[in-house]
Amino acid sequence: MSDLDTLQSKILADIASASDEAALEAVRVAALGKKGSISALLSTLGKMAPDERKTEGAKINLAKDAVMRALAARREVLKSAALDARLASETIDVTLSLRETPAEAGRIHPLSQVWDEVTTIFADMGFAVAEGPDIETDDYNFTRLNFPEGHPAREMHDTFYFNPKDDGSRLLLRTHTSPVQVRTMLSQQPPIRVICPGRTYRSDSDQTHTPMFHQVEGLVIDKSSHLGHLKWILHEFCKAFFEVDNVNMRFRPSFFPFTEPSLEVDIQCRRDKNEIRFGEGEDWLEILGCGMVHPNVLKLCGIDPEVYQGFAWGMGIDRIAMLKYGIADLRQLFEGDVRWLTHYGFKPLEIPTLAGGLSIQ
Ligand code: 2NL
């Protein structure tokens, strides 16, 4: 056996025993790489006499071809073995139950849900949504809403004030969302149809009050807007929101500095232990306050009360959320307890729509 035969047999044996593609590549480099054994033999050809070069060259090239074929064949074998191993280890058990994705595992807070439901209902009636800052001036929060200077109505609100500035003026945390309507009237001419949902603040904390809470107010101003329109809007809202075909409403006289006349609205209901049903029963539940916008407010907000008139209403988002979804304690809304949210929250991909029955899933 010539040296070349021995070398070829050794390389072919190494190829046969290479157990993966990396080992096979090492064998290839050792034989055919720049400093490989076969390459070394080929480089000796240059120093040979022409006849010898012809015969030796042919032999070496035959050996090289044999090695290259063996490498290619072994590579195929190893590749399909690697694929078989992967397929065996990566099988999918289609009978396993689905894992919730993080997006589906989260829950929408009932207040966010109700906020969306309320804006959806009023948007459908043609209302725009307006928002404004939580930190307000005394002027927008009180003065332009017809709260007279030094009037007890200002104390009624338990306001959180910031330290006074050099000129004596004080910023405050808005006690209602009405300053957003003030800003709307100052920047737009009628007709105006807006709702203003937002956070509001009063220094008050007990079982039924938290220092931060949520309100949604509505404002309509046009040449001949009247209480009949207001009653229709509120009736439509209550039916859509509480998802019943009919609700009975009761309007009682009340007082707010920014409306005249002012009214409070109750809806009829039946309380069965922990459940409330609307549209039937003998009980009455107060859900909002409303009235015709006071002419002084129109004047202070740049609207001529001789030409325009309008109505407004305000209700607590937290309160109507508790009523609709049977939440007993207001403070639970703000505790951030994930177990509570898992129970009372809503699936994030189920956005309330009127066509979908708002909350019906
Ligand atoms: C309530 C009562 C109410 C308004 C809010 C309002 C706003 C402007 C002018 C006139 Cl800019 N009125 N808002 C009117 C009546 C009642 O809220 O009990 N809210 C929880």
Rg (CA), the chain: 40
Mean pLDDT calculated for residue range 182-194: 97
pLDDT of residue 270: 85
Q: Is 107:349 a contact under the CB 8 Å cutoff?
A: no
> Which of 181, 216, 252, 258 for mutating ligand 1's site (highest number of atoms within 8 Å of CB)?
258
In this structure, the residue with its CA closest to atom 3 of ligand 1 is: 314
- 157 C-alpha to ligand 1 centroid (Å): 13
pLDDT reported for residue 118: 97
The per-residue b/e assignment along 297-323, b for 16 or more CB within 10 angstroms, e otherwise, is: bbebbebeeeebbbbbbbbbbbbbbbb
Closest residue CA from atom 12 of ligand 1: 312
Ligand 1 centroid distance, CA of 252 (Å): 15
Is the separation of the CB atoms in 98 and 163 below 8 Å? no
Of the candidate ranges 207-221, 238-252, 269-283, 337-351, the one whose mean pLDDT is the lowest: 269-283
Q: What is the pLDDT of residue 148?
A: 87
Q: Which of 217, 264, 317 to mutate to test the pocket of ligand 1 (most atoms within 8 A of CB)?
A: 217
Which percentage of the chain shows pLDDT scores above 90? 63
pTM of the model: 0.72
**Residues with a CB atom less than 6 Å from ligand 1:** 145, 178, 181-182, 215, 217, 219, 256, 258-259, 289-291, 293, 297, 312-316
**Cα(67)–Cα(60) distance, integer angstroms:** 11
Q: Do the Cβ atoms of 218 and 321 come closer than 8 Å?
A: no
Residue of 313, 322, 330 with the most ligand 1 atoms within 8 Å of its CB, for mutation: 313
pLDDT at 361 over 60: no
Averaged pLDDT of the chain: 91
Name the residue with the closest Cα to ligand 1, atom 5: 314
Ligand 1 atom closest to the Cα of residue 290 is 15
Residue 7 to residues 3, 15, 21, 33, 41: CA-CA distances in angstroms?
6, 12, 22, 15, 10
| Ligand 1 nearest atom to the CA of residue 262, by list position | 15
Nearby residues of 142 by Cβ (< 8 Å), 6 or more positions away: 154
DSSP per residue over 199-265, as a string? Answer: EEE-S--BTTB-SEEEEEEEEEEESS--HHHHHHHHHHHHHHHHT-S---EEEEEEEETTEEEEEEE
Reply yes or no on whether the pLDDT at 9 is more than 80: yes
The average pLDDT across 266-284 equals 83
pLDDT tens profile 130-171: 999 999 999 999 999 999 888 776 776 688 999 988 998 889
Residue whose CB lies within 8 A of the most ligand 1 atoms, among 143, 178, 266, for a mutation test: 178
Question: Is the distance from CB of 146 to CB of 298 less than 8 angstroms?
Answer: no
